[in-house]
Amino acid sequence: MTDTSQSQWLIHPKPYADELLSCWLVRIAHAHGLKVETFCHLKFGKERPLWNRDIDRLSPEWLITEICSHIGLSIEAGRATTLRGYEHVLYPHFHSSGLLRWILPLKLYHRTRNGFGLQFCPACLAQDTEPYYRRRWRVGFNVFCPKHNCMHHDRCPRCEAPVIFHRLELGRPDVVDVGPLSTCFKCGFDFRETTPTAPEPYDRTAYQVLRQAIESLDAPAKYNGTSIDIGFLGVMHQLCKLMTSRYRSTSLRQHVATELRIKSIPLTNPKIPFILRPINERWHLLQLAAWIMTAPELRLTAAWRAKAIRYNHLEKDFFDPPPWYSAIVNKFSDWRADQR
């Protein structure tokens, strides 16, 4: 009997640039002429279900090892398709439950998704020879595409269903060829036909901060000689959290909107955290936070003096602030600092 644990599968497509593990696995199944569920049962066994969890985030080691051994790919290249690769880049330490900094959650319930944790750029999908989903589309601050200068979408533009490409086979027992993965599983709309919308920034300098952060996802260490490190992104994330704070003493969002001379948009639900918000709200909040990040000491000091934020909230539940940020906040802890 052949040892199938080490032999390559008959068809072994390699992952595209920045492709998500889940997307890659669906393409492998379809390349074999099988439905995703059937392929996974045959290759991994029914006792190891996959699609009732976020495999891009949890990415079990046995799954990476098996796929890579049958595809003829290094384990490191397989791990690069997962969200764990953002550890020490977007968030300090990986954990399997709860929210991860900047990572959009899918909000899985059994095999359905109640969240909008996968975004897409319609222009990128239209440009692909074979449409596929990028790992960076699971990052919360990545709200527009710098390459095509168009806003991302976090749901179907026609029916507003979440993006769930592995459910294209749902209710179609006799169909194996389900078409491109850019198709909405619910209404059949092809995301490539979405009319691109250009981002409309409040402030050009703040927009460049966001653009640089998004572009750094392709080169996390450095972009154009300017470092975008985990500390910088951590502070921006903290500011986005404070923008949605329910503390009575916090009105940072309104303060920044007033400074920018714009109207702050109403938030759909004041109780949900930043990372669970729809893309239009995240775009709004990110622009406000990025404006502060263009001159953090000056603008945080102005917000503190305007009583838009209390110093003890600036580091609340922020367990790894960079030293430069802590130094700014520590100045506010002494009420006499304002007098000096």
pLDDT recorded at residue 169: 85
Rounded CA gap, 216 and 230, in Å?
11
Rounded CA gap, 110 and 113, in Å?
8
Domain boundary among 136, 162, 193: 193
pLDDT recorded at residue 335: 56
pLDDT recorded at residue 219: 64
Looking at the domain assignment, is residue 3 inside a domain?
no
Q: How many CA atoms lie within 13 A of 119 on its CB side?
A: 28
Q: How many CA atoms lie within 13 A of 290 on its CB side?
A: 23
pLDDT recorded at residue 5: 45
Q: Which residues of the chain have pLDDT under 50?
A: 1-5, 221-226, 337
pLDDT recorded at residue 178: 83
Residue 131 sits in the same domain as residue 213: no
- Per the structure, the count of domains in the chain is 2
Looking at the domain assignment, is residue 16 inside a domain?
no
Q: Are 94 and 87 in contact (CB under 8 A)?
A: yes
Q: Is 87 helix (H, G, I), strand (E, B) or coil?
A: strand
Find where tokens 């250009």 sit: 198
pLDDT recorded at residue 338: 52
Residue 151 sits in the same domain as residue 234: no
| Token pair recorded at residue 23 | 């997307």
Q: Is 145 helix (H, G, I), strand (E, B) or coil?
A: strand
Helix ranges restricted to H, the chain: 21-31, 36-44, 55-58, 61-71, 75-79, 122-127, 204-215, 230-243, 252-260, 279-293, 296-305, 311-314, 323-332, 336-339
Looking at the domain assignment, is residue 67 inside a domain?
yes
Looking at the domain assignment, is residue 320 inside a domain?
yes
E strand or H helix at 277, and its extent? none
Residue 32 sits in the same domain as residue 158: yes
Residue 180 sits in the same domain as residue 254: no
Domain boundary among 146, 167, 193: 193
Looking at the domain assignment, is residue 315 inside a domain?
yes
Residue 266 sits in the same domain as residue 287: yes
Rounded CA gap, 235 and 253, in Å?
15
Residue 39 sits in the same domain as residue 168: yes
Rounded CA gap, 48 and 285, in Å?
40
Integer angstrom CA distances of residue 291 from 236, 252, 267: 10, 12, 19
Model pLDDT for residues 54-84, shown as the tens digit of each residue: 999 999 999 999 999 999 999 999 999 999 9
> Of 267, 285, 140, 269, nearest to 202 (Cα)?
285
pLDDT recorded at residue 155: 97
Find where tokens 């922020």 sit: 318
Tell me which residue range forms the domain holding 304.
204-333
Residue 255 sits in the same domain as residue 109: no
Residue 178 sits in the same domain as residue 249: no
Looking at the domain assignment, is residue 7 inside a domain?
no
* CA diameter of the chain: 82
Can you give the pTM of this predicted structure? 0.93
| Token pair recorded at residue 63 | 């799954």
- 71: phi then psi, degrees, rounded to nearest 5: -95, -25
pLDDT recorded at residue 223: 41
Residue 157 sits in the same domain as residue 285: no
Residue 295 sits in the same domain as residue 232: yes
Looking at the domain assignment, is residue 211 inside a domain?
yes
Count of other CB atoms within 10 angstroms of residue 336: 6
Q: Which residues contact 210 (CB under 8 A, 6 or more apart)?
A: 141, 143, 286, 287, 290
pLDDT recorded at residue 8: 83
Looking at the domain assignment, is residue 304 inside a domain?
yes
Domain boundary among 126, 161, 193: 193
- 326: phi then psi, degrees, rounded to nearest 5: -60, -35
Residue 244 sits in the same domain as residue 118: no
Residue 158 sits in the same domain as residue 291: no
